[in-house]
Amino acid sequence: MLHAVVGLQFGDEGKGKFVDYLSSKLDGVARFSGGANAGHSVQYKNTRLAFSQLPATLYGKDLYVCQGALISPKIILKEIKQVESMNNGAKIHIDPRCHIVLPIHAELNKASEAYKTNNKIGSVGIGIGACFEDKANRHGVRLCDAIDINTLKEKLLFLWEIRKNQINNVFNGSLSLDFEQTLSELHEQCMKLKPYFSFTNKDIRKKLNSGEKILLETSQATFLDNGFGSYPFTVAYPTLVQNCFPLIGIPAQEIHVVGVFKCYMIRVGNGPFPTEISSHLADYIRKKGNEYGTVSKRERRCGWLDLPLIKQAVELNGVTELAITNVDVLSELDEVYVCVDHQHKGEKICCDQSMLHFSEVEPMYRSFDGWTKLKNKYINKNELPENLIKFLKFIESYIGIPIKYISHGPDREHTIIDEAIYTLNNSSCL
C-alpha cells in the first residue's frame, strides 16, 4: 500500500521529520517530484542532515528518485555520499528518465528574476522552473542522455543556444558559463550516477504487488501547487499528492495520507500572506522556531495559523490524519490567534474563491489563551498543558480529521503519537 507525507501550508512544515519517522515502519521511500529547491531536514540525537534530492530518512531503506523528480547532479552526489557514509544499508535507485537541472537553468532563473524587478516570484534561483520548461518543450536533457558524451553534446548545444539567447537578448543578462567545461563536468557527474540507475516504476510496482508498503515524499506543499496554490507565487509544477501516479508510473490506488502543518504559518519568498504577523512577535517566532530556509537560508515570514487553508489542503490531498509541529515555539505567549474564516470585501468566502484574489483576503481570527513552556518529553498528549490541549481539540473539530502526531521539538523523539487513532496492526494504515 502507498503512504504519503504532504505539507498543508506553503512549505517547511516539518515533513522531513515525519518521512524519517514513518519510513522506519515501511519498505521503501519514493520522491516523485520537485528538485533541489525542496529541502527537508532530519534530526536524531546528535545527527542532523538536510536532504533536497534523496528521500529524507536516516533509516536504511530502499530510496527511490522517480522520473518526475529533477536532478541536480552535484547535489545528489553529495547526498549519496552522505547516506552511504552512514553504512545503514540504504539502497538508492534513480530513474534514468529524470531530467537534469543544468547550470544554465540557474543562470536563466536568476536573469529572469532580475528582469522582473518588482514582480519577482521569490525563486531560490536553482533553475527548477527553467528545467520544467525545457521538459515541457521537449528539449530537456535526461540522465540517460548524459551517459554518451556525443549525445549529451548534441542535446546540450541545442538547449544552450536557446537559453543563451534568452539570457542575453530577452532578459538583458550575460551568460558567463563555459560550454565545454559544463559538458565535461556534467558527463563525469552523470557517469558517477549510472550505477544507481533503475526503472523505479517497475521496482515500486513490484513491491506494491507483493504487499510491501511504500512511503511517498512530496516535495513542496499544497499552496505552492501551480493550479490550486497562490498562483503565480507557486512552483512550476503540481504538488498535490495524487500527481504521484503518472510521475512514478503506477496505476491510481488508495493512499494513506499524513498531512503535516505547523501551529502557525510560514512562507518563504514573495506572495500574499493574509495572516502574516508584522510586529516584533514575528521575529520572536522566527528565532525560537529557527525559521530559515533549509535550501535558501532566507528568513521565513511568520503568521498565525490559517485553518481554512488547512482544511482546503486536507480536502485537496485526501488527508486521513494530521501531524502538527512546533507547538513548543508558541509556548509562553499570552495569546495565540487562529484564522477561522476568510473575508473579501466584507463577505465570507471559501478557499477556492480566496485563491482567486488572495492578496485581498481579510482573515477573521479566534483567540486562545497561551500555554506554558513544554517539557522535553511526554508519554501522551494528556500530559500537555490544558490550554494547548484545548487548542488542538479546536483544530481537530474545525478540520474534521484527527491529530495523530504532535511534534514539540526537532528531534525524532520529540513526538507524541496518539496510538488510539490508528495502529500498525491495521493493514490499511499506519
d(C-alpha 147, C-alpha 186), whole Å:
9
d(C-alpha 389, C-alpha 372), whole Å:
12
Residues 6+ apart with CB under 8 A from 349: 342, 343, 361
Number of H helices, E strands in the chain: 12, 18
Print burial letters for 220-245: b (CB count within 10 Å at least 16), e (below 16): bbbbbbbebbbeebbbbbbbbbebbb
d(C-alpha 280, C-alpha 285), whole Å:
9
Phi, psi of 84, rounded to the nearest 5 degrees: -70, -25
d(C-alpha 161, C-alpha 166), whole Å:
9
Residue 159: Cβ within 10 Å count: 18
How buried is residue 367: exposed, middle or buried, by Cβ count under 10 Å (0-12/13-18/19+)? exposed
Peptide bond before 232: cis, by omega within 30 degrees of 0? yes
Q: Report the catalytic residues.
A: 12, 40
Residues 6+ apart with CB under 8 A from 407: 14, 17, 323, 324, 325, 326, 327, 414, 415, 416
Q: How is residue 178 written as a grid cell?
A: 563555459
Q: How is residue 315 written as a grid cell?
A: 480536502
